[in-house]
């Protein structure tokens, strides 16, 4: 019987729900599930201060303490790694796991499927995850990102509402429900099927293509356009906050400044940039958009 290891962290439970559904086709398989547990819990709901204060450590990939990673076996046929991006980087618990020597030892020589539960910007974080998994000798065979499909600004507002209240409901009674839709969460089992088949055959070539053929996964060009530019700015801000925030008061000041910068960038600058992009740049760059999409949907996957 095939044996798989499923490792994940989920603060609200959304990603675990996705993974529960994703694993439905894996009936004839021994599944070991391990939760990543931070020593110091990330309180949910977040306060506005704690939410934005998490940015520098997350972007600079600081190692937080997690409970030691323990698995029953040293070797698995497949690892499913579930994680979420925070500030265009792997979440702090995900980074901590990817720095844990015990986990890295299990990764070595093992096929890995990443399952992401994001708002809509996961490309930069996946680049880092791919790099860390490759460095450990693991082999990415598929990546399955689940996103909030609503318009970028709408989903930013609704997710922030959810994160700051722990209520996955409609903000002001009018915004759409935040996060990955119930339909997409349920459909995760559809995407589990080809992975299960590949596992049974021990053959992962063409797996990502079969997953993409479901047409349940896509990258929106304008979201990709923003994400490709935003990470550099986040790194600058993260370093600035660490350098200038030498005591609690100074750090709070710089974090607040970043928060207002983000607000202005998201709600005032990005609509103008996107207007220019959609009407002037995108029509002339159709081929490179398609090329980038393909590149990101296959990050680290050998075809």
Written as six digits, the tokens of 141 are 């065979």
Residue nearest to ligand FMN (CB): 12
Q: Is 145 exposed, middle or buried (0-12, 13-18, 19+ CB in 10 A)?
A: buried
Give min distance, CB of 136 to ligand FMN, in A: 23
Give min distance, CB of 221 to ligand FMN, in A: 16
Nearer to ligand FMN among residue 178 and residue 300 (C-beta): 178
Give min distance, CB of 181 to ligand FMN, in A: 12
**In angstroms, rounded to a whole number, what is the distance separating the alpha carbons of residues 77 and 111?**
7
**In angstroms, rounded to a whole number, what is the distance separating the alpha carbons of residues 157 and 212?**
29
**Contact (CB, 8 A) for 140 and 301:** yes
With b for 16 or more beta-carbon neighbours within 10 A and e for fewer, the 5-17 pattern comes to: bbbbbbbbebbbb
Q: Which stretches within 23-91 are classed as H helix?
A: 48-59
Omega before 110 cis (within 30°)? no
Give min distance, CB of 203 to ligand FMN, in A: 31
Written as six digits, the tokens of 168 are 């996955």
Nearer to ligand FMN among residue 67 and residue 75 (C-beta): 67
**In angstroms, rounded to a whole number, what is the distance separating the alpha carbons of residues 267 and 256?**
17
Give min distance, CB of 14 to ligand FMN, in A: 4
Give min distance, CB of 124 to ligand FMN, in A: 8
Nearer to ligand FMN among residue 14 and residue 270 (C-beta): 14
Residues that bind ligand FMN (CB under 6 A): 10-12, 14-15, 51, 54, 84-88, 117-122, 159, 163
Give min distance, CB of 47 to ligand FMN, in A: 12
Nearer to ligand FMN among residue 2 and residue 293 (C-beta): 293
Strand order across the beta sheet in which 3-8 lies:
30-35, 3-8, 78-83, 111-117, 139-146
- Cβ neighbours of residue 6 under 8 Å, at least 6 residues apart? 19, 23, 31, 32, 33, 34, 79, 80, 82
Nearer to ligand FMN among residue 86 and residue 254 (C-beta): 86
Nearer to ligand FMN among residue 93 and residue 192 (C-beta): 93
Nearer to ligand FMN among residue 29 and residue 177 (C-beta): 177
């Amino acid at each position: 019987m095939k044996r798989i290891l499923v490792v994940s962290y989920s603060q609200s439970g959304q990603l675990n729900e996705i993974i529960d559904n994703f694993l439905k086709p894996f009936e004839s398989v021994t599944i070991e599930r391990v939760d990543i547990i931070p020593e110091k819990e990330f309180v949910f709901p977040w306060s506005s201060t704690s939410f934005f204060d998490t940015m520098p450590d997350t972007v600079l990939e600081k190692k937080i303490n997690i409970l030691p990673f323990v698995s029953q076996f040293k070797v698995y046929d497949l690892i499913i790694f579930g994680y979420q991006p925070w500030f265009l980087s792997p979440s702090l618990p995900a980074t901590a796991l990817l720095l844990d020597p015990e986990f890295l030892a299990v990764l070595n020589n093992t096929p890995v499927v990443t399952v992401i539960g994001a708002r809509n910007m996961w490309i930069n974080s996946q680049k880092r995850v791919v790099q860390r998994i490759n460095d450990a000798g693991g082999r990415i065979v598929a990546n399955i990102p689940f996103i909030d499909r609503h318009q970028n600004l709408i989903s930013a507002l609704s997710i922030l509402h959810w994160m700051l209240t722990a209520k996955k409901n409609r903000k002001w009674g009018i915004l759409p429900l935040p996060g990955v839709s119930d339909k997409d969460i349920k459909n995760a089992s559809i995407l589990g099927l080809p992975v299960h088949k590949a596992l049974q055959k021990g053959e992962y070539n063409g797996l990502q293509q079969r997953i993409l053929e479901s047409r349940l996964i896509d990258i929106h060009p304008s979201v990709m356009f923003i994400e490709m530019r935003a990470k550099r700015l986040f790194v600058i801000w993260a370093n600035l906050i660490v350098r200038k925030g030498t005591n609690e008061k100074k750090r709070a000041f710089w974090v607040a400044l970043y928060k207002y910068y983000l607000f202005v960038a998201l709600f005032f600058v990005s609509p103008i940039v996107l207007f220019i992009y959609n009407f002037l740049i995108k029509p002339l760059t159709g081929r490179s958009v398609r090329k980038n999409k393909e590149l990101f949907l296959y990050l680290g996957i050998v075809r």
